[in-house]
């Protein structure tokens, strides 16, 4: 081991793994994330991959990336500028070079820069010798060759051996950042439990990568990112989609209902279906329907039968579900709809993130069909959002849509998971004998909150019919009476508006309670906005942040909060949707900041806009 290697302390580091979609970059990134999280860092991740399963090898369009920031302070974004880029080939380097901090480090696999790779990456010159990387610190390692070398005594074919090269990178990074190999070895033991030769090979290469750092002088310094000072408690790492699935199970458990999840495969929502279909021992019934419409309809059917009916999809699938969601609004049955938003319109950018379905959620149905809408702000917050959506759906007998997005769904962060006994109880308003008057059940009789009772087939004496035709108040019988229709439209609206009395008031997340600029966001822009506002405050600016969880109805004090600031800036990953709603509701001249590139905001983009309007 080199004697003269020193440790440099860093508060936070951003690493980007980039390679072919077959190079195992997602797995490498996930393992590196978990190891840092288990060590005690705060982390935030951003997987970014092509829509094609095996996009053309070696090309720019086939690059799969996994970016993460880990730190000893609280981390809210996967990082604006990359400190270390790992490029497995020329395409990985060229498509991500612009993200690397000037003076940052680039670790390249030199085998990925041969004539073929350069041609596929459409690079006339070899960037390793052309001078393109002069402003960076470049570490060249022939990872492919060293991997094969490490496995030369095994029975693996050359091709099989080469596939382990991501483990070399991971081992090397564990050396560089002084992390233990244990968690990854444990993971490999589980993954290759039935393939001992692959387990042995991967562990061998992982160790070879670590030892390579130890034995050579490529780096004269290693980096130390100390444990983060997070709030006390027990933590785990979690992705948005996993948190969404677990949140549903928790809500079903706390309400005493069985969970029914009807879904049709779609990116980036399918992982929720995968996760839930593993959890049948929690009385979870998953139904992979024949299409999106059947998925939502089956969930409504299950709710009619007394289960917690949930459906999940992404924008195009949600569009197909909307008629049935309108029916659920009309029937006044609980239903949770998860929309993991992606780039649109139409098929759009299936694997990229966007927030462009807010209008679809709030307004996207025929007729006057108010829908409660909630948004998750971080991967772990997906748990809270879906739990709250289920609570409102059940206790208010109404459909609720939760908006997640591709960035939250696949991104991960440490989660201080809750204790079951601290979860808010959920009380389904099942009809009781006392709800019968003269042995007659009035299915559309309402309580003070305008909520009707839930009578489920099998309950004797409560037989009734529901349907999509306009219904008479109280009895629920079909009615074409003009006055009744207006009354029912207003009642359904008032019922959803009433939810505002059952949700928290809007709080200021960061900064002072009043002042010059308020940055108002919703959804996954939370981290970037929070970091931008914190940095502006550190620079002495009068800026605050408020972040909306409840998008319909809005918190009842929101107008008051907004009016306490001279200017309101609304950054969104769309062409300006929340800004429209805010202008419409409060006649307030909020300033939009829009990014529609399929990738999240960089902190600097928000800071620049704050400074521009300041």
447 burial (CB, 10 Å; 0-12 / 13-18 / 19+) is: exposed
Residue 38 interacting with another protein (CB under 8 A)? yes
Among 32, 46, 260, 407, the residue binding another protein under the rule CB under 8 A is: 260
Check if the beta carbon of residue 73 is closer than 8 Å to that of residue 5.
no
486 burial (CB, 10 Å; 0-12 / 13-18 / 19+) is: exposed
How far is the C-alpha of 594 from the C-alpha of 605, rounded, in Å?
A: 10
Q: How far is the CB of 350 from another protein (least distance, A)?
A: 22
Among 71, 209, 262, 317, the residue binding another protein under the rule CB under 8 A is: 262
Check if the beta carbon of residue 338 is closer than 8 Å to that of residue 296.
no
Of 453, 463, 485, 462, the residue nearest 472 (C-alpha): 485
Residue 124 interacting with another protein (CB under 8 A)? no
Please list every residue from 473 through 532 that binds another protein, using CB under 8 A: 477-478
Q: Which is nearer to another protein, 469 or 613 (CB)?
A: 469
Per-residue H/E/C for 368-427: CCCCEEEECCCCCHHHHHHHHHHHHHHHCCCEEEEEEEHHHHHCEEEECCCCHHHCCCCC
Q: How far is the CB of 181 from another protein (least distance, A)?
A: 14
Stretch that binds another protein, among 414-422, 494-502, 538-546, 593-601 (CB under 8 A): 414-422
Residue 224 interacting with another protein (CB under 8 A)? no
3-state secondary structure at position 439: coil
Q: Which is nearer to another protein, 466 or 489 (CB)?
A: 466
Q: How far is the CB of 441 from another protein (least distance, A)?
A: 11
How far is the C-alpha of 379 from the C-alpha of 218, rounded, in Å?
A: 36
Residue 44 interacting with another protein (CB under 8 A)? no
How far is the C-alpha of 98 from the C-alpha of 139, rounded, in Å?
A: 17
Among 282, 359, 586, 614, the residue binding another protein under the rule CB under 8 A is: 282
Stretch that binds another protein, among 89-97, 100-108, 230-238, 366-374 (CB under 8 A): 230-238
Q: How far is the CB of 207 from another protein (least distance, A)?
A: 21
Please list every residue from 325 through 344 that binds another protein, using CB under 8 A: 327, 331
Among 56, 316, 348, 418, the residue binding another protein under the rule CB under 8 A is: 418
Element housing 104 (H / E): strand 100-109
Q: Which is nearer to another protein, 304 or 407 (CB)?
A: 304
Q: Which is nearer to another protein, 345 or 468 (CB)?
A: 468
Residue 289 interacting with another protein (CB under 8 A)? yes
Stretch that binds another protein, among 20-28, 225-233, 538-546, 606-614 (CB under 8 A): 225-233
Residue 465 interacting with another protein (CB under 8 A)? yes
How far is the C-alpha of 554 from the C-alpha of 547, rounded, in Å?
A: 11
Q: What character string, x for contact with another protein (CB under 8 A) and - otherwise, covers 18-37? A: ----------------x--x
How far is the C-alpha of 595 from the C-alpha of 609, rounded, in Å?
A: 12
Please list every residue from 169 through 208 that binds another protein, using CB under 8 A: 183
Residue 305 interacting with another protein (CB under 8 A)? yes
Positive or negative CA dihedral for 95, 98, 100, 103? positive
- Write the DSSP symbol of residue 66: E
116: which 2 tokens?
A: 């073929």
Please list every residue from 530 through 549 that binds another protein, using CB under 8 A: none
Please list every residue from 150 through 169 that binds another protein, using CB under 8 A: none
Among 222, 445, 449, 464, the residue binding another protein under the rule CB under 8 A is: 464
3-state secondary structure at position 217: coil
Stretch that binds another protein, among 119-127, 212-220, 299-307, 349-357 (CB under 8 A): 299-307
Please list every residue from 439 through 458 that binds another protein, using CB under 8 A: 456-458
Of 88, 120, 132, 86, the residue nearest 106 (C-alpha): 86
Q: How far is the CB of 304 from another protein (least distance, A)?
A: 6
How far is the C-alpha of 4 from the C-alpha of 436, rounded, in Å?
A: 84
């Amino acid at each position: 081991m080199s004697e003269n290697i020193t440790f440099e302390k860093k508060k936070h580091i951003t690493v980007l793994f980039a390679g072919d979609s077959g190079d195992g970059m997602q797995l490498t990134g996930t393992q590196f994330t978990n190891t840092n999280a288990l060590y005690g860092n705060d982390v935030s991740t951003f997987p970014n991959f092509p829509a094609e399963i095996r996009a053309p090898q070696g090309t720019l369009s086939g690059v799969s990336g996994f970016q993460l920031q880990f730190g000893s302070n609280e981390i809210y974004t996967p990082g604006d500028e990359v400190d270390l880029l790992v490029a497995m080939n020329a395409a990985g380097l060229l498509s991500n070079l612009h993200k690397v901090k000037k003076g940052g480090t680039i670790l390249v696999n030199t085998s990925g820069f041969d004539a073929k790779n350069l041609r596929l990456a459409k690079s006339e010159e070899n960037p390793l010798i052309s001078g393109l990387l002069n402003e960076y610190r470049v570490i060249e390692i022939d990872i492919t060759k060293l991997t094969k070398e490490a496995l030369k005594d095994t029975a693996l074919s050359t091709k099989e051996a080469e596939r382990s090269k991501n483990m070399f990178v991971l081992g090397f990074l564990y050396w560089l950042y002084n992390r233990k190999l244990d968690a990854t070895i444990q993971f490999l033991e589980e993954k290759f439990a039935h393939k001992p030769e692959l387990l042995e090979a991967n562990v061998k290469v992982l160790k070879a990568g670590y030892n390579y750092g130890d034995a050579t002088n490529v780096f004269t310094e290693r980096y130390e990112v100390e444990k983060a000072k997070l709030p006390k408690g027990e933590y785990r790492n979690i992705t948005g989609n996993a948190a969404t699935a677990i949140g549903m199970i928790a809500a079903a458990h706390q309400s005493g209902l069985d969970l029914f999840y009807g879904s049709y495969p779609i990116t980036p929502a399918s992982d929720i279906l995968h996760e839930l279909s593993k959890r049948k021992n929690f009385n979870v019934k998953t139904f992979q329907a024949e299409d999106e419409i059947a998925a939502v309809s089956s969930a409504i059917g299950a709710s009619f039968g007394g289960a917690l009916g949930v459906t999940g999809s992404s924008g195009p699938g949600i569009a197909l579900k909307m008629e049935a969601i309108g029916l659920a609004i009309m029937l006044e049955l609980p239903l949770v709809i998860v929309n993991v938003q992606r780039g649109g319109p139409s098929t759009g950018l299936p694997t990229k993130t966007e927030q462009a379905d807010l209008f679809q959620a709030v307004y996207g149905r025929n007729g006057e069909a108010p829908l409660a809408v909630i948004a998750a702000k971080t991967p772990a917050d997906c748990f809270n959002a879906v739990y709250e959506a289920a609570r409102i759906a059940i206790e208010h007998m109404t459909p609720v849509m939760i908006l997640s997005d591709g960035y939250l769904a696949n991104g991960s962060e440490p989660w201080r998971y809750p204790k079951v006994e601290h979860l808010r109880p959920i009380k389904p308003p099942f009809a009781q004998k006392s709800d019968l008057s003269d042995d007659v059940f009035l299915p559309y009789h309402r309580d003070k909150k305008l909520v009707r009772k839930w009578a489920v087939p099998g309950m004797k004496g409560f037989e009734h019919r529901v349907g999509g035709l306009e219904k008479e108040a109280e009895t629920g019988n079909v009615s074409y009476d003009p006055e009744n229709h207006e009354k029912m439209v207003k009642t359904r609206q008032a019922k959803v508006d009433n939810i505002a009395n059952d949700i928290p008031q809007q709080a200021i997340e960061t900064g002072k309670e009043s002042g010059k600029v308020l940055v108002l966001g919703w959804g996954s822009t939370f981290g970037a906005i929070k970091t931008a506002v914190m940095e502006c405050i550190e620079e002495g600016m009068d800026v605050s942040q408020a972040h909306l969880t409840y998008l319909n109805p809005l918190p009842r004090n929101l107008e008051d909060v907004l009016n306490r600031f001279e200017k309101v800036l609304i950054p969104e990953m769309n062409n300006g949707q929340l800004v429209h709603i805010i202008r419409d509701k409060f006649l307030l001249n909020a300033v939009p900041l829009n990014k529609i590139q399929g990738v999240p905001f960089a902190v600097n983009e928000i800071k620049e806009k704050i400074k521009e309007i300041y």
